[in-house]
Amino acid sequence: MAAHGRYTLLRKIADGGTGEVFLAQMEGSAGFKRLVVLKRVRPSLWADEGFRRGLVDEAHIAMGLHHSNIVQVIDLGAAAQQYFLAFELVDGWTLAQVLKRARLSGVPVPLAVGLHIMAEVCRGLGYAHSRAENGVPLAIVHRDVSPQNVLLSEQGEVKL
C-alpha cells in the first residue's frame, strides 16, 4: 500500500464514520520499525474547524494517559494533506469479534472471563475519569464504550 509520511500503510483494517483504519509500519532512523494502527481522518471532517479542534484536544489528552488498559496514542500528524492518529497495535481481537464467534460456535464466554474483561475496562475508565492536571480534574469521559472498542490481546490484556 501507500506511504503516509513516516508510516507505510500495510492493509486496511476497518472503515468507520470518522475515517479509515489501517495496519501500518512506523519507520524511524537507524532502521527502527514498529507496527501501529493508523486512523486516517476523512478530509470532509477535518475541514470542519470544530471537529479538528476537538480531535487535536482529544489527542493531547489521550497522549497523557498512561495505563495498561488504555491504548496508547503515539502520534497526531498530517501527510499528503490527510490527517491521522497513530495508536499502539493491540494484536488480538475486539470484544465484538469474540462475542460473535462465541455465539456462532454455540459456546458462551465463561462468566469468569466476562467478569475479568469488565473489571479491566472499569480499571481503564476509572483511571481516565479520575485524571487531573495541577489538581484540576480533566473531566474525561469515554463516549463510546462498546464491544467493538474493547480490545483483547493475544496475551490476555484488555484495552480501551
Q: Could you confirm whether 48 is annotated as catalytic? A: no
29 SS3 class: helix
- Is there a contact between 117 and 95 (Cβ–Cβ < 8 Å)? yes
Dihedral (CA of 11, 22, 36, 5) sign:
positive
CA atoms within 13 A on the CB side of 18: 12
Give the cell for residue 1. 500500500
Catalytic residue among 15, 57, 91, 144: 144
User: What is the DSSP code (8-state) at residue 131?
Assistant: -
Strand ranges, E, within 16-137: 19-27, 33-41, 73-79, 82-88, 92-94, 132-133, 136-137
Catalytic residues: 144
